[in-house]
Structure 1
Amino acid sequence: EEVYHKHLDAEIVINTSPVGMYPKNDAAPIDLRLFHCCEAVLDVVYNPITTKLCYTAKQLGLIHANGLEMLIAQAKYAVEHFLHQKIDDQIIETIYQKLLRDKINIVLIGMPSAGKTTIGRLLAKQMQKPFVDMDERIVAQAGKSIPQIFAEHGERGFRAYETQIAMQLAKQENSVIACGGGIVKYDVNMEMLGQNSIVIYLERDPANLSSNDPTRPLSSSKEAVEKMYRERLPLYLQYSDITVKNAEEPAVVAENCVQQIDAYIAKR
């Protein structure tokens, strides 16, 4: 109450509380959207990698950092103090990037039939991470096929299952996750998945997308796919950290993903 009453003009916000730490990933200490003068956010929480507070900062275009690098630096300085030895500061960045690559999820978004599952399996193998197909998880949890879910509960019912799975997967680390094409339709899905992830938009020419697949209820015709593409493209671009075009052999596309992931981590 004091913060909202007296400090909405803050230019820098630093969270030193455990609010937003795993397993309560969906919590934030403040509503950052009310701080119209804010320019930068530091959250000392390091699990998840991007807390809800930092995710909001990212969406608002603010400078933001989490607590993982601070945790590593803290350990480095403690070793120096207790063992009476000097360690080059570069080790902080080296360990940070290694931990980030090991811990981070890779989330693939894009249109139905864009190749998310095929590329995802190859990417998981290359990065030595487990692979998760969200649609398979939804089928397993619902106990029925996706066409059955749509027939019995409509798209709204399917999206409810999707959000449940997204919230479960958001709390795990070190996986490659292939999402359904409509995952971006609900901000809560991307907010949760984005907390421990680098999000890749797998782009594919609309002319090469499937338009008559009985397992994909919303891809009933070429016109339906083109309309869906126009509606979802801004969302894919909004929620992705990296865009990779799927226009080559799957192994080449997967390698392109790895290279862009490494480049993204190096700049993070």
Structure 2
Amino acid sequence: MAIFFFDQSDFLGNRIMSALHMIENRPGNYKILPGGAAYCSGIIPDEGFEVVRVQLQSWLPLEEAYRFIEAHLERIGRPAQAFCGIEMRVPAPLTFNDWSTFNLPYFEQLRKWELMFGDYSGVCRSNIALALYPPAKTSVCTFSYTVPAVSKGQTFLLSGQADIGANGKPIADGDTSPAAMRQRTRYTIDTVGDTLNKLGFAWKDATQIALFHVHDIPDLWEPALLGAVGTPIRGGVLVYRARPPIAGGEVELEARAIRQELVVATD
């Protein structure tokens, strides 16, 4: 079992971890790089499997989405443990106290699906607070799972990385000046790059990058920021007017490698 050495804290601000190993999710056919109780850092499918990402044509409130995901996996003959990623949209950023309360029913659902490994989540996750047309309640827009691979090539998922430091505090807290926004963005780029490295990948292996921010980020495409990721920029970057889920955060970054992406009706 591979060993990775790193420091990482989840948004609960209650744990700094080091020297963690990849967790085997044998029923779900993927390996997990631990990150915390609310989300893992990333996942890699087992040999002969790949990640499928499903966009919901109409978003579902979180509780309804759980039932939809369970039924979808059952319909395609995959176990609940194959579920490996969830992307949520929240009405507004949460305080740390609200974040703790928000996560309790989520933890309960993961335990039901046998996707909590001790204190660690086995699922990648992002929670985004849209600045334009946010949902009235927390909703799921996308989820991912593993299936037997249909072609060669590696896929992977990472959780979204916000501009929240290992101490649980936002980078450049309270500051949205041009210099602070560059600092926040640089932090997310470096942290995602570090996670890719721990999984055995590099930016060049990503097929999709997404960036979430509201305030302007000067020189965003220059080599000091997004230009540093290299050739994936040729495929473009999905940019959203949105914030991370924790109040005080201003930038979030996602990266993944996907070969199959579906759009599924929910009604």
TM-score where L is the length of structure 1: 0.28
Q: Point out which structure has higher relative CO (alpha carbons under 8 A, 6+ apart).
A: 2
More helix by share: 1
More strand by share: 2
